[in-house]
Chains A and B, each alone.
Chain A
Amino acid sequence: MIEITALTKRYGSHTVLDNIDFTVEPGSIAAIVGPSGAGKSTLFRCVNLLERPTSGTIRVDGQELTNLSRRELRVARRAIGTVFQSANLLRRLTAAQNVALPLEFLRLSDEEIHRRVRELLERVDMLHRANHYPGQLSGGQRQRIGIARGLATRPSVLLADEATSGLDPETTGSILRLLAGLRDDLGVTIVVITHEMDVVRSVADVVAQIDHGRIVEYGRVGDVVRRSDSALSTALLPDQPAPRPSADEVVWRLRYADATVDPNWLSRISRELGTDIALLSGLVETVGGDRAGRLTVGISAQLPAGKVTRAFAACGIRAHMTETADELAGVAS
């Protein structure tokens, strides 16, 4: 459980984080997105106090971090696992030794360390690479070792900065499954910083967008994708490029406005309106447990717009007609 209140960070006169309030519920995954330079990494570094906030408070598991003595802070940090961008593995230590490092800092016995390192490497499916040096591992493998190391002290909170950046979709998928497993099996509270919307859609429970040091949008991922007038929603479920419809059709943009849209809506509405519906482009997914969709369809220009809108609304879909072909061309380009 993480509670950030009125967090401000300045470097000289440059305000990097501006009065951030942000709470992550226990056992959930929060994603932080935002353009480069928005302050994401600074926020990440403030949560475990690698960077001292200029003002504001940070509570992890009910403990206020900014008031702690150096010694108390060292203990508190063990409850916060950290996965760094590009893993930050020590080059002169093997994968297993890297994972063992936080346990050695804890002065655990050799047998205990050995046992736990084995268990961690197994969890990230890297036991077969235990004695490899980071230079002998691929980017995705290094990232897994980084995650295993972040989990070594059995933290209740895990912070990951761009843990999947630059990895292929398959490797990204396996890391995301790993994170979801930690949440679901061990109840770990996770914050992932990312610029990949696929990551947000597939594992995050809540999402916050940061821009210029402020949270500009926040919400449950399932809710955010249904927002009609939101930049984050569009980023999460972008309009797909669509071909032009035939001459007697007009283009409609559709968005699931309801979490429980009936998957049969296409044939249902087609029957109800007594016309064909041309599916031009679309994305339909389960996001945060809810159905989410964004599509472009072509419907005969003969039908009254109000009737079409009502038919879609009855199925929990918000529809609006696209006036000009230009708008569509803009999307396609």
Chain B
Amino acid sequence: MTTHVLALGTPWSGVPALLFPAFGQSAEMVGIVMAIVILLGGPLGVLIFNTSPRGLAPHAQVNAVVSWIANLGRSLPFLVLMATIIPFTQLVVGTTIGIKAAIIPMSLAGIPFFARLMENAIREVPPEMLDVGVASGASRWQIIRSIQLTEALPGIVAGLTLNIIAMIEYSAIAGAIGAGGLGYLAINDGYEQFDGTIMIACIALLILIVQVIQFTGDRAVRSLLH
């Protein structure tokens, strides 16, 4: 085991040139992954809730299956998941390194995570609210859209905030497989090459990003609650 000693390396004036592209790569990764997560995890969450006994179309078998899928994706630590699915990643995107390769395991971890957050948010909507829709002759789709999603929106936004922050964390871990981004920069330039300046700059930026996202998310949730 080698002991790394951090020392100041890159001069501060050179930091932006390294930091900005890395930030851009992180943002790209998290952005693409979040789009996939919302597109697939959202409906999965709606399905899990509505096939449960309290849902609009209770169905024990379907619920068991979708629930199992959602649990499966969340049962492995991200690093283990990433390693396990390397053949699958290779199959889907044709490479096992870089941003493209990171998107697959990040999505696989993010989709079930968001599905559960979504399910919880909808579960918080009082069941009497669904009765309002049923009693006024709404279709199931209308109830999902106009009642479940509308009433659960603050919870969904809180879930999204949590999810984005988790994906930033995963993107940093994915940096270890050369995915690029802030995590990669911190590990590769900062840690491996004893570059304290880069390390500090990366950490400071990550802290700032997470704080800004949490703050913005909280503000959004508050403005959605009436």
Which positions in A face B, CB cutoff 8 Å?
45, 48, 50, 74-78, 80, 82, 84, 88, 90-93, 101-102, 104-106, 133-136, 149, 152-153
User: Which residues from chain A contact B146 at a C-beta distance below 8 Å?
Assistant: 101, 104-105
C-alpha gap A102/B153 in the complex (Å): 20
- A78:B137 contact, CB within 8 angstroms: yes
- B151:A74 contact, CB within 8 angstroms: no
- B137:A92 contact, CB within 8 angstroms: no
| B129 lies within 8 A of chain A by Cβ | yes
Q: Mark B123-159, 1 if CB is under 8 A from A, else 0.
A: 0001011011111111100100011001101100000
- B131:A74 contact, CB within 8 angstroms: no
25 A-B contacts (beta carbon < 8 Å): A50-B131, A74-B137, A74-B138, A77-B134, A78-B136, A80-B135, A82-B131, A84-B128, A84-B131, A88-B132, A90-B150, A91-B151, A91-B225, A91-B226, A92-B151, A92-B154, A92-B224, A101-B146, A102-B136, A102-B137, A104-B142, A105-B133, A105-B142, A106-B137, A153-B136
Report A165 CB to chain B, min CB distance, Å: 15
C-alpha gap A76/B128 in the complex (Å): 20
Which positions in B face A, CB cutoff 8 Å?
126, 128-129, 131-139, 142, 146-147, 150-151, 153-154, 224-226
Report B224 CB to chain A, min CB distance, Å: 7
User: Which residues from chain A contact B226 at a C-beta distance below 8 Å?
Assistant: 91-92, 133-136
C-alpha gap A74/B139 in the complex (Å): 7
C-alpha gap A76/B150 in the complex (Å): 25
User: Which residues from chain B contact A105 at a C-beta distance below 8 Å?
Assistant: 133, 136-139, 142, 146
- A48:B135 contact, CB within 8 angstroms: yes
Report A139 CB to chain B, min CB distance, Å: 16
User: Known interface pairs A88-B131, A90-B129, A133-B226. Does A82 touch B150 (Cβ–Cβ under 8 Å)?
Assistant: no
Seed contacts A74-B139, A88-B129, A90-B150; 17 additional CB < 8 Å A-B pairs: A77-B134, A77-B135, A82-B136, A84-B132, A88-B128, A88-B132, A90-B129, A90-B147, A91-B225, A91-B226, A92-B153, A92-B224, A92-B226, A101-B133, A104-B142, A105-B142, A133-B226
- B132:A153 contact, CB within 8 angstroms: no
User: Known interface pairs A90-B147, A135-B226. Does A77 touch B128 (Cβ–Cβ under 8 Å)?
Assistant: no
Report A238 CB to chain B, min CB distance, Å: 33
Which of the residues B138, B142, B151, B224 comes within 8 Å of A90, measured between beta carbons? B151
- A101:B137 contact, CB within 8 angstroms: no
Report A23 CB to chain B, min CB distance, Å: 22
User: Which residues from chain A contact B136 at a C-beta distance below 8 Å?
Assistant: 77-78, 82, 101-102, 105, 149, 152-153
CB-based closest 4 A-B pairs: A133-B226, A102-B136, A82-B135, A77-B137
What is the chain A residue whose CB lies nearest that of B150?
Answer: A92
User: Which residues from chain A contact B132 at a C-beta distance below 8 Å?
Assistant: 82, 84, 88, 90, 101, 149
- Residue in A74, A90, A136 whose Cβ sees the most chain B Cβ within 10 Å: A90
User: Which residues from chain B contact A88 at a C-beta distance below 8 Å?
Assistant: 126, 128-129, 131-132
What is the chain B residue whose CB lies nearest that of A83?
Answer: B135
C-alpha gap A135/B154 in the complex (Å): 15
C-alpha gap A48/B226 in the complex (Å): 30
User: Which residues from chain B contact A78 at a C-beta distance below 8 Å?
Assistant: 136-137
User: Which residues from chain B contact A75 at a C-beta distance below 8 Å?
Assistant: 137
User: Which residues from chain A contact B137 at a C-beta distance below 8 Å?
Assistant: 74-78, 102, 105-106, 153
C-alpha gap A80/B138 in the complex (Å): 13
C-alpha gap A50/B226 in the complex (Å): 28
C-alpha gap A105/B139 in the complex (Å): 8
Report B133 CB to chain A, min CB distance, Å: 7
User: Which residues from chain A contact B151 at a C-beta distance below 8 Å?
Assistant: 90-92
Report B135 CB to chain A, min CB distance, Å: 4
C-alpha gap A104/B131 in the complex (Å): 16
What is the chain A residue whose CB lies nearest that of B147?
Answer: A90
